[in-house]
Structure 1
């Protein structure tokens, strides 16, 4: 190439490169200026919290819920994981499901709920949408293929806080009225009494319909780790799920501050029914916590209204999946307060308060074992205390002795009240001895607490039982007075011959002391066993109680079957007025009372009781004799 041409080409290349280098910054600036400004990055969607807040959250109104909304919930599902989160999809709202109450339908998933379905013990699990509290999972269907549930709106639960905190009142009155109680105890026939006692526990509704989730009721200290006969009856009536459990300190109390830090929405909570040597506690889930108040369950426990019941922490161990109804196994922890309201939309509890309890002491001995003593505490309530006391005693009898078969129970019981100690001493024998014994005590305690006359709280229950696997009894074969005619003021020995079952014969002497002011004439003397003597005396002096004191006086007339009894009467006109027997009235007064007219139901009296004597025997006695004796005139 020619030198001149080469120089020209180099000059052209340099000029082009210089022009390009000068134009690039200008073009780049122009391009940047012309390009649209980048939009700010969209904020990341807030993920649901791993655990619920222990502070009250904002409420999501029911009227703003629509099908398809997504949410989440919390519940302690065991396995050592504590509170776990699960997913929720709103299906719709049942308006006015109950008076002035809606019910939210939803389907849950996650945390294994596709496999287990809705779990008994999830009652009260808080449900959230957009981080706001919707309500408490509370309802479900057994045998459901999908985990569909009913949610109680939180607004309905918060209304519980405004319920009047009136003191606990009798639930539905006594199981039986005074007249029926007198008849049952007089005849010692308690058939039908258990059904009456369990009537308030029964849940209405079809077994296949949607209903509030059953509560798993944990029991510890039962015979062989299993619930006793009576607890099974109560659980069946109330719809509870019986779940064996342990106790990690139900008798301990936790300070309110430490409890508030441990109890939060989604954690498990127990309502303690019975503690001590046996534990019964119903487990549900906390929905809402605010300062010293707790809302839980989302449905009633037993619809008792104002109530005092210990409230304790609970730890879920695991979940037992079931085609019919999965449920939680839980241990009951320290008591941290008390339940004060049991309403249709849940229960309300208070931190730091202590529920009133009824101490129960049971002493039992048998042919093979020395005396053993058991201590329990039961909720103080006319509906619960009688049944819980009976469950505790039934548990002791079943644990120490055989479950079935003939037996003899020498029974001594005392129910302590502010007025007096109400004693019920008797003997039960045969195949139904255990059932009749615990039912009779429950019936008596229920009547005292819920009687139709006045309030009578129970301060404690003491029971002493002597148990024998053998059928024990004795039979009266002969009754003979030393003389059949005597004068007022004399003592007349009456010999009673008894033959014991598979034993020998023996003689017992009962003394008839004739009062000095007894007028001459016939004297009727009844000698017999406790049951026969009670029935005979009620025939002469009919019971017509018109007050609680008269009912208690009647119970004092009950003579135990393991006793020999002597009762002496003479003829004299009288009447029963306002439940009080008025014997040996002047003829004019007796005639006036007798002519009061028909229909008032007040019995007349024809005899006056001169003497009543009871002598305890080692075994139940059967047999009776009526003696017709004579009081001679005194020869001064």
Structure 2
């Protein structure tokens, strides 16, 4: 519907706010182009029957204009700001099947005697209902961008529940399986990434011709490089080097620093739940989204935010493969984003979902130049790629959640060694050679371990006892990645040498227990927890056991109990190599 063909109801005057010329560039003479001079409609002056149009990018990046009519105003939807109920119409909406995911942020204009005036942006739709009906977030509330939190659902009498227009997470080079790792990021957001789908990468020369204006599509980039993850929405306004988009939150993270890039709509797919856009994503950073607020995303043009550089090396039967990608430098996001990229690339290397063993080595560089190196292992019976990817984000999650200071992660170098064999053994039994041992000497513990589909192995580990340890002691024996099983024991401290500073936290990461280690800890009569032994094994150790030991004062022992050489034997009587603590 052309702007000149829209008329307001006769006899009604509308107060308008002239906000000046929008700083936009666009297609001169294009059919769907938004007005050059923007009048704003105060929502208090909107009445049922007002007519206008919305603008959004359609297939081929043509700006499409479609008619809208006001059906009602929700002055108090429980979300802290009003919403305007509209019905969309016209040939374009008929072709798309209704208001689509990816149209969030599409500017809506009403016709007045002074010209077309900006009402706000499409922000909510009604899944599994009339897809022509939508809710508009007022432009004044988008500009505030810091008011009350919008509800997950808004109840509209006669129409049911509305939810924010689903922001499709358009994925290039990443599987739906890997995208599932992103779900925790949306757990508290008022937006559901619906649907998760594959997209493409725009040709390199496309970005040079991209023009940013109201109605054009943009992608907020979470991961770029050999893996890409972006959320596509629509620009509402561009003015004075600032941008407003989406008409609702993305992740709802408040202050952020996320790059946004061009998006190129290739198709709009009708759906019984919510229609959705498909888009290719560009590479040129247009600016930074700085606020992810209840009513809008707000950003600044020509400013590129910091990111975390990730290099991933995979070593397996096919040799070494190297990849690189960048993730948003937001500690609320980068642990999951690093894991998501790792899963996609490990899947690509393996070419199948199967069990196996992986050893991961990290070098994490902080912005101050400090480095954290650590090693860990994991085994999984059916999906080693997923297990390794989830582990990949673990140290970053520890850094992100620390209570001492910002970690300021700058680079992550991750080397993953993959083995399709099951390298795991369960701890089946632990027996003390002697139930009474003198303090300062050593206890010998015979262990029976069951490797995967191999003969059981019996090993003896020598556990040194501190000279100040005495009385009845419980020895807890477990694999390094197995949670401590204390049963009915009451512990004075549940963590050994808990870090008290950021530096101590880094040291704890560097020296943390590995899954391929056997850990022996003592619980004293007073509930004190002390670690006595970490013994490396050539496989991941699972399971736990406990034994009761009487530790005698050294002067009460009949004879000194010297440490004996470690003895190893397979169940059938053969010998194996010894294993001792480090």
Q: Deviations over 1:392-425 (max 9, x none)?
A: 1222233333665543333334544456526361
Structure 1 residue 123 corresponds to structure 2 residue 104: yes
Runs of 5+ consecutive residues of structure 2 not aligned to the other structure? 7-28, 562-582
- Give the aligned partner of residue 57 of structure 1: 38
Asked if 1 retains the 8 angstrom alpha-carbon contact of 2:75 and 2:83, the reply is yes
Asked if 2 retains the 8 angstrom alpha-carbon contact of 1:533 and 1:565, the reply is no
- Give the aligned partner of residue 451 of structure 1: 402
- Give the aligned partner of residue 234 of structure 2: 285
Structure 1 residue 605 corresponds to structure 2 residue 558: no
Which runs of structure 2 are paired with 1:208-227 in the superposition (5 Å)? 209-223=161-175, 227=178
Structure 1 residue 349 corresponds to structure 2 residue 295: no
SS of equivalent to 2:108: strand
1:512/1:142 CA distance change after superposition, 3 Å: closer
Choose the corresponding residue for 2:120, options 102, 111, 135. Answer: 135
**Per-residue deviation at 1:605?**
3.4
Q: Deviations over 1:559-579 (max 9, x none)?
A: 223235688x899x9xxxxxx
- Give the aligned partner of residue 266 of structure 1: 215
**Per-residue deviation at 1:459?**
2.7
Rounded Cα–Cα distance in structure 1 between residues aligned with 2:356 and 2:260: 39
Larger Rg: 1
1:339/1:496 CA distance change after superposition, 3 Å: same
Runs of 5+ consecutive residues of structure 1 not aligned to the other structure? 1-43, 165-199, 574-602
1:570/1:502 CA distance change after superposition, 3 Å: closer
Q: Deviations over 1:208-255 (max 9, x none)?
A: 6112100111101124x77544246767885112121111269x997x
Which runs of structure 2 are paired with 1:54-203 in the superposition (5 Å)? 55=36, 57-78=38-59, 80=60, 82-98=62-78, 101-115=81-95, 116-128=97-109, 129=111, 130-145=115-130, 147-160=132-145, 203=152
1:616/1:153 CA distance change after superposition, 3 Å: same
SS of equivalent to 1:394: helix
Asked if 1 retains the 8 angstrom alpha-carbon contact of 2:315 and 2:418, the reply is yes
1:215/1:613 CA distance change after superposition, 3 Å: closer
1:354/1:403 CA distance change after superposition, 3 Å: same
Asked if 2 retains the 8 angstrom alpha-carbon contact of 1:275 and 1:376, the reply is yes
- Give the aligned partner of residue 617 of structure 1: 538
- Give the aligned partner of residue 387 of structure 1: 336
Root-mean-square deviation (CA, aligned residues, Å) is 4.7
Asked if 2 retains the 8 angstrom alpha-carbon contact of 1:498 and 1:506, the reply is yes
1:205/1:409 CA distance change after superposition, 3 Å: farther
**Per-residue deviation at 1:87?**
1.5
Rounded Cα–Cα distance in structure 2 between residues aligned with 1:522 and 1:210: 66
Choose the corresponding residue for 2:377, options 426, 433, 450. Answer: 426
Rounded Cα–Cα distance in structure 2 between residues aligned with 1:155 and 1:202: 19
Asked if 2 retains the 8 angstrom alpha-carbon contact of 1:56 and 1:289, the reply is no
Rounded Cα–Cα distance in structure 2 between residues aligned with 1:492 and 1:94: 74
Rounded Cα–Cα distance in structure 1 between residues aligned with 2:481 and 2:171: 41
TM-score (structure 1 length as normaliser): 0.66
1:120/1:623 CA distance change after superposition, 3 Å: closer
Which runs of structure 2 are paired with 1:233-248 in the superposition (5 Å)? 238-241=191-194, 242-248=196-202
More helix as a share of residues: 1
**Per-residue deviation at 1:365?**
2.7
SS of equivalent to 2:289: strand
**Per-residue deviation at 1:288?**
0.7
Rounded Cα–Cα distance in structure 2 between residues aligned with 1:468 and 1:154: 56
**Per-residue deviation at 1:429?**
2.6
**Per-residue deviation at 1:326?**
0.6
Task: Name whichever of 554-563 and 142-151 sits farther off.
Answer: 554-563
1:228/1:470 CA distance change after superposition, 3 Å: farther
- Give the aligned partner of residue 569 of structure 2: none
Which runs of structure 2 are paired with 1:426-575 in the superposition (5 Å)? 426-431=377-382, 434-442=385-393, 444-474=395-425, 501-502=452-453, 530-531=479-480, 535=484, 542-543=494-495, 545=498, 547=500, 549=502, 555=509, 558-563=512-517
Q: Deviations over 1:293-349 (max 9, x none)?
A: 111111111221110000111110111111221111011112211101111111111
SS of equivalent to 1:371: strand
